[in-house]
């Protein structure tokens, strides 16, 4: 504990200040990056460029990322079929992990490795190709899973005019206000020093030259743990139960919150 053993240029997590991305605080990041018309938050596409290069992109560079991702967004039907074949009560993270693994046969990295021309000095290029494919496709798969689980399988097609965050909100049937929520959420959860369970797992699995689909699926399985990503779900569950039990028809007070916390700790 408290021993620094990882070096990264991408992000820094300070216990007092919070996250810095490429040296910028969250407010500085939000202020610097290009935004969609009418949005308070940057597009995920602009943040992707910033995270990878360290440079604040121009709108033309953002448009280039948008166009590039659109060429990669098609998800084969067999991916949806594989997810549908799972028990409907399966956790969404199980479905997402399976969905990513179902795409593995398209791995550029695996193809390069099996070509007989594999070279570690250039292997990053096929890793980048796979990672770009995953990033472009995963919102579509995630939206499909959400609709399958929580909206009676009412699927909504992608809107080619929208950016990634707005499209995710659109595909899960949310209001325009949620488009900014999605943009903000994707950016804030993008990278936390590259050393948490999911990031470390992804790096570890890929260190065996497993392709990014295997590595990312493994990272998702780590993210599903209650001491990692599942904590987000459990906090929301606790908050809803708190409102139901302690705040029916009344505003929460410091005393009510304190009682709820002690009841939880003593349970």
- pLDDT digits (tens), the chain, 267 positions: 677 777 888 998 888 888 999 999 999 999 999 999 999 999 999 999 999 999 999 999 999 999 999 999 999 999 999 999 999 999 999 999 999 999 999 999 999 999 999 999 999 999 999 999 999 999 999 999 999 999 999 999 999 999 999 999 999 999 999 999 999 999 999 988 888 899 999 999 999 999 999 999 999 999 999 999 999 899 999 999 999 999 888 899 999 999 999 999 998
Round to whole Å and give the CA distance between 35 and 40.
7
**Cα 55 from chain centre:** 21
Q: Provide the pLDDT for residue 223.
A: 94
List beta partners, residue 12.
20
Q: Provide the pLDDT for residue 267.
A: 86
Give me 96's structure tokens: 């997402």
How many angstroms separate the Cα of 76 from the Cα of each of 41, 103, 104, 200, 265?
A: 31, 8, 12, 29, 46
Q: What is the model's pTM?
A: 0.91
Round to whole Å and give the CA distance between 68 and 222.
29
Instruction: Say which residue the tokens 């499909």 belong to.
Output: 144
Give me 163's structure tokens: 């950016």
Q: What is the CA radius of gyration of the chain?
A: 20
Q: Provide the pLDDT for residue 17.
A: 85
Q: Provide the pLDDT for residue 68.
A: 96
């Amino acid at each position: 504990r408290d021993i620094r053993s990882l070096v990264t240029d991408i992000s820094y997590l300070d216990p007092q200040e919070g996250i810095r991305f490429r040296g910028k605080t969250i407010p500085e990041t939000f202020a610097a990056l290009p935004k969609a018309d009418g949005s308070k938050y940057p597009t995920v596409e602009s943040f992707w460029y910033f995270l990878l290069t360290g440079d604040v992109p121009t709108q033309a560079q953002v448009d280039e990322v948008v166009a590039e991702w659109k060429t990669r967004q098609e998800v084969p039907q067999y991916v949806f079929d594989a997810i549908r074949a799972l028990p409907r009560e399966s956790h969404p993270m199980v479905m997402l992990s399976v969905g990513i693994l179902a795409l593995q046969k398209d791995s550029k990295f695996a193809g390069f490795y099996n070509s007989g021309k594999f070279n570690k000095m250039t292997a990053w290029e096929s890793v980048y190709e796979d990672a770009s494919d995953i990033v472009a496709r995963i919102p579509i798969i995630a939206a499909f899973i959400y609709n399958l689980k929580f909206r009676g399988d009412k699927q909504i097609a992608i809107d080619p005019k929208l950016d990634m965050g707005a499209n995710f909100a659109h595909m899960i049937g949310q209001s325009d206000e949620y488009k900014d929520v999605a943009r903000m959420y994707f950016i804030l959860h993008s990278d936390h020093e590259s050393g948490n369970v999911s990031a470390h797992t992804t790096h570890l699995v890929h260190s065996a030259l497993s392709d990014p689909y295997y590595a990312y699926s493994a990272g998702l399985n780590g993210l599903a743990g209650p001491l990692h990503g599942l904590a987000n779900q459990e906090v929301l569950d606790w908050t809803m139960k708190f409102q139901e039990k302690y705040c029916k028809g009344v505003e929460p007070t410091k005393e009510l919150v304190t009682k709820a916390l002690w009841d939880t700790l003593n349970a």
